Amino acid sequence: MGIDAGESVQLTLLDTVGNSDCFAHERRISLEAEMRTLRKRYGPASVVSGSLLLKSSKVNLWTHALTKRRDERVRVSTDQFGIPVRYSRSERSTYDSGRYEITRVIDQWRSSTWSWGKIAEVDAYRVMTEPDGTFELHRIGSEWRLRAMAD
Tens of each residue's pLDDT in the chain, 151 residues: 444 555 555 545 555 555 555 677 777 788 888 888 888 888 887 777 665 554 445 544 444 456 677 788 999 999 999 999 999 887 554 555 578 899 999 889 998 877 677 888 899 999 998 776 889 999 988 899 998 888 6
CB within 8 Å of 94: residues ≥ 6 apart: none
Q: pTM to 2 decimals?
A: 0.53
Q: How far apart are CA 23 and CA 9, in angstroms?
A: 16
Domain parsing of the chain, residue ranges: 8-53, 68-149
| pLDDT value of position 14 | 55
Q: How far apart are CA 93 and CA 87, in angstroms?
A: 14
Q: How far apart are CA 81 and CA 14, in angstroms?
A: 42
